[in-house]
């Protein structure tokens, strides 16, 4: 695939507004279509961003022959049905985090993508930030020895509004699926899949999680301590501890510009690597390059990692008494 990669946007919400601007920084890729359940909303989005076609239903963009790949930015419980429809239509996928609302839903999408040979990736932009890529490189080189523990937090203070997506259970609300996915994915990236998950936290009156603290345990004694919240703001920092030093990922760690390398007997080394555009360009470049190379998965954000993260989120939510369901009516 050497010609221009043509993108469709499904769900023209807050995050899509930011992501679509970064196509300006991606060679041989362009957003050509947008779909919403409201044609007016799709047309307004298309007008703001110079997109050729606006569709008034998700089904229409799945059937659009001039779209190669879909960026899915609907509420979490709608990802499952839209993704399965896209795979049936042969469209490649970049799916916002969290990937789905349930492990079963994520597994079904991953299995369908693999069986069909269709590219799919979770839109975990953190893994593609230049500063995070450098941190992983330093760790791989042994700069801090063996990684033994990860700390990360991400939280915002939001006024409770039962009608807002963040607080509505049927829309996959709560801290874990929206913000917890970042801290869990960061830990999983560095430590692998945990053997145990222990969670404590509290709920909003709508039945979604307001805050959660997670302890991920590993059989060899490694650990991750993670916090997420919609109840109060958190610094948004991460720290990676090794046997020979540690790395601070300065706030906010999910799209950082600066990391600080600490090693015994050596002055701390500050490394700053700015993002291209708004920072979403890097995941868009990854998908575009994967498609041009004929790959069906990213090596940086493989589907196995997505499933592992989804499992941790579901276990943590379950311990807090929260269960989510997919929305079968999304298409």
3-state secondary structure (DSSP) of residue 90? coil
- Smallest Cα–Cα separation from 123: which of 330, 298, 327, 315? 298
Catalytic residue among 55, 76, 80, 97: 97
What distance in Å separates the CA atoms of residue 64 and residue 38, rounded to the nearest whole number? Answer: 17
* Burial zone of 73 (CB within 10 Å; 0-12 exposed, 13-18 middle, 19+ buried): buried
Radius of gyration over every alpha carbon of the chain, rounded to an integer in angstroms: 19
What distance in Å separates the CA atoms of residue 217 and residue 229, rounded to the nearest whole number? Answer: 21
How does 256-280 read in b/e, with b if 16+ C-beta sit within 10 Å? beebbbbbeeeeeeeeeeebbbebb
- Smallest Cα–Cα separation from 330: which of 76, 96, 55, 12? 76
State yes or no: is 97 an active-site residue.
yes
What distance in Å separates the CA atoms of residue 17 and residue 35, rounded to the nearest whole number? Answer: 13
Distance, CA of 96 to chain centre: 5
Peptide bond into 238 cis (omega under 30): no
What distance in Å separates the CA atoms of residue 269 and residue 247, rounded to the nearest whole number? Answer: 9
Contact 143, 243 (CB under 8 A): no
* Burial zone of 14 (CB within 10 Å; 0-12 exposed, 13-18 middle, 19+ buried): exposed
Known catalytic residues are 97
């Amino acid at each position: 695939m050497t010609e221009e990669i043509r993108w469709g946007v499904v769900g023209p919400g807050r995050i899509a507004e930011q992501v679509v601007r970064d196509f300006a920084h991606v060679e041989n890729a362009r957003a050509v279509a947008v779909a919403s359940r409201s044609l007016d909303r799709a047309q307004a989005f298309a007008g703001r961003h110079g997109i050729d076609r606006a569709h008034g239903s998700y089904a229409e963009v799945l059937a659009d022959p001039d779209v190669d790949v879909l960026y899915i930015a609907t509420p979490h419980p709608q990802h499952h049905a839209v993704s399965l429809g896209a795979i049936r239509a042969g469209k490649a996928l970049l799916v916002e985090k969290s990937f789905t609302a349930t492990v079963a839903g994520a597994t079904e999408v991953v299995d369908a993508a693999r069986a069909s040979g269709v590219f799919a990736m979770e839109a975990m932009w953190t893994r593609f930030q230049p500063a995070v890529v450098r941190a992983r490189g330093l760790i791989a080189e042994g700069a801090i020895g063996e990684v033994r523990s990860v700390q990360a937090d991400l939280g915002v203070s939001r006024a409770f509004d039962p009608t807002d997506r963040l607080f509505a259970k049927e829309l996959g609300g709560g801290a874990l699926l929206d913000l917890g996915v970042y801290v869990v994915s960061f830990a999983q990236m560095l430590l692998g899949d945990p053997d145990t998950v222990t969670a404590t936290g509290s709920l909003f009156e709508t039945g979604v999680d307001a805050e959660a603290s997670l302890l991920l345990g590993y059989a060899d004694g490694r650990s991750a301590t993670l916090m997420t919240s919609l109840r109060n703001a958190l610094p948004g920092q991460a720290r990676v501890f090794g046997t020979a030093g540690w790395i601070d990922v300065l706030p906010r760690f999910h799209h950082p510009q600066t990391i600080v390398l600490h090693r015994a007997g050596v002055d701390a080394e500050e490394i700053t690597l700015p993002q291209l555009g708004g920072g979403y360009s890097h995941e868009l470049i990854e998908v575009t390059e994967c498609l041009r190379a004929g790959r069906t998965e990213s090596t940086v954000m493989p589907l196995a990692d997505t499933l592992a993260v989804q499992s941790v989120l579901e276990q943590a939510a379950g311990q807090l008494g929260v269960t989510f369901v997919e929305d079968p009516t999304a298409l």
